Amino acid sequence: MQQKSRIVSLISLLLIIVLALAACGGDEEPTAAPEPPAAAATDTPAPTEAPTEAPPEEPTVAASEEVTATEEMTETEAMTATEAMTETEAITDTEAITDTESVTATEASTETAAAAPAGEEPDEITTAGSKGEARTMVFITHDMHPFFVPSIVGMSDACLAIGWECSFIGPPAFSVEGTSQRLESTISSGPDAIAMTFSDPTAYNELVDSAIEAGIVVVGYNTDNDYRAEKGLGYVGQDQFNAGYQNGLQAIKYAKEVTGKDTGKIEIVTCCPGHTALEERIRGTQAAIEENSDYTAETLKGENDAQKYIANVEAKWQAESDQIVAFAGVDGYTENLGRFGEANGLQGQVALGGFDLLPTTMQSIKDGVMQWTIGQDPYTQGFMPVLMAWKQLERGYPPVFYDTGAEIIDAANIDATLEREQSWIDRTPELGLQG
């Protein structure tokens, strides 16, 4: 019985093979199935001679079960093999993908860090930057006037940002000799950089030459001269002639608006005759008046002391009030024109204006005593020289000319300006200064 079952199973397997070959062969004739072994043929009738009556032990059911078992085994094995293959391939593919992505990501990261692909740029680059070495820088001014409070704040902010030690020095009032003495002692102390006001045409030139020879970076701020330009040194401040020209245009505008006159005198008031920046502003103011009106312009010495300044202006007014239509200052002492106007009740009688954003000047504009002032961004005049010196010392780039502009302040924008300028006024106590 067991032998017959094996024979039936073998025959079933042969039939499956034949059917598979027929399915693969298409129209080709199927290859004849091999005959069963002779020993098996002795006990088993030929396939074409099916018995008329199957014996009880005919393994039809058994054969059927065997085929089913074989098919189940085959399907199970196939499934197992397929699953095994699939799992193996899946693992292999996963590993391959993981490896590939890892390599690609690393390569891509390296390429992005090194250089973007041709024709493309990275969306974002992040870098920590560098402050460079800790250095020292000294600002030298010609006059420790309250005008320089925002400049000192700007210097302090910039030096704090890059880790430098900075100081701001100068004579109490405008003095070429006092400025020269402080410049000489500063050079001897050997700082890395100096920022200075070139307030005289020639007095500081030889000293600056010696500073440059000693390897000190020198940058000008606030006040310029021809020597600074010829040496190619950096500068942060106004184009003084252009700023003066804007001053003259404002004097023309408000002389007409306040007095209603088309002719008369505009007095150009300076604290410090010979001061290079102020002389250029005077030239610019005169040029604007002469080129754009029928007013005449003349220069009045106001002094660098508030009481003397006011006294000189009052004396001029008392002598020629019937001719004067405006007083136009060219420096920070312009604030004394506001004091003069308020003390003499001159609102609506004469136009008053000039330069800089001192609190007294801005309040006089807000109160209607003065009509205009020209801002020169003193904060930036302290901030940018530090960055220029840093750029030259740490990156090798020479400083440049940085024009801080001529900002016109009048009744239309005085409130916004007061709010903005309060940011440095609030810091004056911690710097030991008075605004």
Parallel/antiparallel/unpaired status of strands 372-375 and 407-409 = antiparallel
Helices (H), 239-377: 240-259, 276-292, 306-320, 335-343, 359-366
Q: How would you write the pLDDT of the chain (435 residues) with one tens digit per residue?
A: 555 555 556 666 666 665 555 555 544 444 444 444 444 433 444 444 444 444 444 333 333 333 333 333 344 343 343 443 344 343 333 333 333 333 333 333 333 445 556 667 778 888 887 888 999 999 999 999 888 989 998 999 999 999 999 999 999 989 999 999 999 999 999 999 999 999 999 999 999 999 999 999 999 999 999 999 999 999 999 999 999 999 999 999 999 999 999 999 999 999 999 999 999 999 999 999 999 999 999 999 999 899 999 999 999 999 999 999 999 999 999 999 999 999 999 999 999 999 999 999 999 999 999 999 999 999 999 999 999 999 999 999 998 999 999 999 999 999 999 999 887 777 777 766 665
CB atoms within 10 A of CB 342: 17
Buried b (16+ CB within 10 A) or exposed e, 150-181: bbbbbbbebbeebebebebebbeebbbebbbe
Q: Whole-angstrom distance between the N-terminal and C-terminal Cα of the chain?
A: 121
Three-state DSSP class for residue 238: coil
pLDDT at position 147 is 87
Which DSSP letter does residue 30 get?
P
8 A C-beta contact, residue 158 and residue 386:
yes
Q: What does pTM read for this prediction?
A: 0.69
Q: What stretch(es) of the chain map to CATH 3.40.50.2300? A: 136-238+380-403, 240-375
CATH number of the 240-375 domain: 3.40.50.2300
Task: Return d(Cα 46, Cα 49) in angstroms, integer.
Answer: 5
Question: Which residues pair with residue 375 across a beta bridge?
Answer: 407
Q: What angle do CA 125, 128, 133 make, to 5 degrees?
A: 140
Q: What is the pLDDT of residue 166?
A: 96
Strands 234-237 and 351-355: unpaired
The whole-number pLDDT of residue 433 equals 61
- What number does CATH give the domain 136-238+380-403? 3.40.50.2300
Q: In what order do the strands lie in the sheet with 234-237?
A: 165-169, 136-140, 193-196, 217-221, 234-237, 401-403
Residue listed under structure tokens 């010392």: 393
Contact 193, 217 (CB under 8 A): yes
Cα(17)–Cα(36) distance, integer angstroms:
14
Please report, for residues 24, 281, 400, the alpha-carbon distance to residue 228 in angstroms, rounded to integers and kept in the order given: 98, 18, 11
CA 36 to chain centre: 92
Contact by Cβ (8 Å): 290, 297: yes
